[in-house]
Amino acid sequence: MTDVPAEDPQETLLRLRASIDNIDAALVYLLAERFRATQQVGRLKARHAMPPSDPSREEQQVARLRALAEAAHLDPEFAEKWFNFVVAEVIRHHEAFRTE
């Protein structure tokens, strides 16, 4: 068996950071796609005088995302905080559509 030389720590760091950068880019594009969809929902709600927030839907989504986070070995508290942050922005957009 031949010895495989250890990878240089600086090269490992650069490789890992490149992977992180790619993931961050994918997340930005996914968030943009999500907001395009929620803006359509906001316009629909505004046209039909529906409330900008749907607490029962949000509660279902929190439970769903917490379960997904657990399955993915991600902290469910973090997943819920992220979701609440995103929903607050979505509701802000939906409220803005009501005044257009």
Question: How confident is the prediction along the chain (100 residues), in pLDDT tens digits per residue?
Answer: 556 667 899 999 999 999 999 999 999 999 999 999 999 999 999 999 999 999 999 999 999 999 999 999 999 999 999 999 999 999 999 888 888 7
For residue 35, give the 3-state DSSP assignment: helix
- pTM attached to this predicted model: 0.81
**Does 1 map to a domain?**
no
Say which amino acid occupies 38. Answer: T
Residue 13 pLDDT: 95
Residue 68, number of CB atoms within 10 A of its CB: 12
Where b means 16+ CB within 10 Å and e means fewer, 6-15 reads eeeeeeeeee
**Does 86 map to a domain?**
yes
CB of 98 closer than 8 Å to CB of 44 = no
Say which CATH number the domain at 56 has. Answer: 1.20.59.10
Residue 3 pLDDT: 65
**Does 22 map to a domain?**
yes
Residue 5 pLDDT: 65
Domain residues for the domain of 31 are 14-98
Our count of domains for the chain comes to 1
Residue 58 pLDDT: 96
The greatest distance separating any two alpha carbons of the chain, rounded to the nearest whole angstrom, comes to 72
**Does 63 map to a domain?**
yes
